[in-house]
Amino acid sequence: MPRSVFMEEIDAFTYREAIADGAPVIIPVGSIEQHGPHLPLNTDVILSKAMSARLAESLRGLVAAPIVYGYKSQQRSGGGNYLGGTTSLDGTTLISIAKTLTLEFARHGARRLVFLNGHFENYQFLYEGVEQATAELAMRGHDVSAVLLSYWDFVDEDTIERIYKGTFPGWDVEHGGVLETSLMLHLHPELVRLDRVMDLPAAQLPRYDVLPVRAELTPASGCLSSAAAASREAGELLLERTSAALAAEVGAELGASLTAATGR
């Protein structure tokens, strides 16, 4: 195995050898998006890359250079694209990136891909791009499959209860809140400014979107729930349990798809 799981840190010969040996390629997908006054703009990139590294170590895979920019932040899940610092792609661009990368890694000889998403709004555009690429590859007779996932879907109920103790506000408003802040405290405490957390009530948003966005619906912090209860210990628990769940389920899926393709 290469000395690093990160594609950009290894040479081309070592990369090609790993791909030839069947290493799955994991593509972290994030965003440059405001996460309040206490977290960096690249929080989604950092967290998707960290989860990808853990998964690669478990699956003897490689982590591709991340997709740094994401789809437009939406008010009900990210505060809104109007907020300064948030720098976004339109849907057709993200679809094209996902399709192009799938085709490129297939050209390298990769047969199993994982797009590991860390920004809520990305998902359907990633799906469209990867679906187009895998359909095109199948028409050419190439056996390439891809798994798409968002890491928070692998946080189990017991972990949620241990961390939130009955106060979980729901994933729809967990932007810049306890989960992301705790993970960042564990992984990169030097990038977190707990003294700048704005302990405001969770956003009260309608069950529909309004355009143009009504800025007064987003809390002044830009976050949709408070990070005041975040801790390094919670971040460590989240990383360990989520990584284990990812490795178990994605590993089983990749193993099953490989068996189906090879008959072994």
Report, as residue numbers or ranges, the catalytic residues. 33, 35, 44, 119, 121, 175, 180
What is the distance in angstroms between the CA of the first residue and the CA of the last residue of the chain?
Answer: 23
| CA angle at 40 for the pair 34 and 45, rounded to the nearest 5° | 90
Identify the CA nearest to 91 among candidates 119, 134, 117, 126. Answer: 126
DSSP for residue 243: H
In angstroms, rounded to a whole number, what is the distance separating the alpha carbons of residues 180 and 75? 17
In angstroms, rounded to a whole number, what is the distance separating the alpha carbons of residues 5 and 62? 5
Identify the CA nearest to 242 among candidates 180, 193, 194. Answer: 180
In angstroms, rounded to a whole number, what is the distance separating the alpha carbons of residues 146 and 131? 9
145: β partners:
112
Spatial contact of 116 and 81, defined as CB atoms under 8 Å apart: no
Q: Give yes or no for a cis peptide into 212 (omega within 30° of 0).
A: yes
